[in-house]
Amino acid sequence: MTTIPSLSFASPRIEVRVGISHGFNSPPRLQVAARKQGNGEAVGPRVWRRRKLTKKDEMSIFKMDRIPFLEEQVRKVKEQGKLITMDIERLLLSEDNRFDFVNEVAAEAKEYVENNRDEYGGSKKAILHVLSNRVNDAGFYRPDAYAEEDPFKPGPHYLKQEFT
């Protein structure tokens, strides 16, 4: 085994050992081991690991039992914890064919947007309007398009009192 001393102008000390090992029935192999000494860095060969850049989807194991458009909406709403989640589940349980239900709701929302583009361009969403109408028809009161008024915003009958 031969040791090659490190160069004097390099700040961390690096030793490289080169050796030839012979096994009983194996061909000779060249082994190279590099060590760094200095600021407490790791000794031995460097192991490269690639970090996963994408987040694993928790619903990927249920790929066969998914509802295309509505499933993502339910997951998004569940993260926010709103009342619409229970309403969507209730509507899905009441339907025989979930895919037809999703297509009907999407078609109805598309009609709402085509008939009144000005109303559904901003904060009011047509899909929420359709779902709130369906829940109201089922017998549970929900505000139109699940619109919640801000309690801190004054209403139309609010008179501003100015202090002079």
DSSP letter at 129 equals H
Residue 32 sits in the same domain as residue 78 = no
Is the pLDDT at 122 greater than 60, yes or no? yes
Q: Quote helix, strand, coil % in the chain, to nearest 5.
A: 40, 15, 45
The span from the CA of 87 to the CA of 109, in Å, is: 17
The span from the CA of 94 to the CA of 156, in Å, is: 39
The span from the CA of 1 to the CA of 158, in Å, is: 91
Cβ-proximal residues to 94 (8 Å cutoff; 6+ apart), any chain: 138
Residue 97 sits in the same domain as residue 23 = no
Domain that residue 95 falls in: 60-146
Residue 126 sits in the same domain as residue 83 = yes
Task: Indicate the pTM of the whole model.
Answer: 0.44
- 28 part of a folded domain: yes
Residue 33 sits in the same domain as residue 64 = no
Q: Convert the pLDDT of each residue in 56-80 to its tens digit.
A: 777 666 665 555 666 666 666 555 6
Parallel/antiparallel/unpaired status of strands 2-4 and 29-37: unpaired
